[in-house]
A and B are shown apart, each in its own frame.
Chain A
Amino acid sequence: SQQGEEDPQALSIQEGENATMNCSYKTSINNLQWYRQNSGRGLVHLILIRSNEREKHSGRLRVTLDTSKKSSSLLITASRAADTASYFCATDARGAQKLVFGQGTRLTINP
Chain B
Amino acid sequence: DTGVSQNPRHKITKRGQNVTFRCDPISEHNRLYWYRQTLGQGPEFLTYFQNEAQLEKSRLLSDRFSAERPKGSFSTLEIQRTEQGDSAMYLCASSLIGISEETQYFGPGTRLLVL
Contact = CB atoms under 8 A, between A and B. Distances in A.
B42 A42 contact: no
B56 A104 contact: no
B91 interface: yes
A44 B2 contact: yes
Contact of B45 (A35, A88, A99, A103): A99
B56 A48 contact: no
Interface residues of B, number: 29
B25 interface: no
B74 interface: no
A47 B47 CA distance: 23
B99 interface: no
B98 interface: no
* Size class of the A contact interface (CB-based, 8 Å): 20 to 34
Contacts of B45: 98-100
Interface in A8-65: 31, 33, 35, 40-45, 48, 50
Contacts of A50: 101
Interface of B: 2, 4, 6, 31, 33, 35, 40-45, 48, 55-56, 58, 89, 91, 93, 101-109, 111
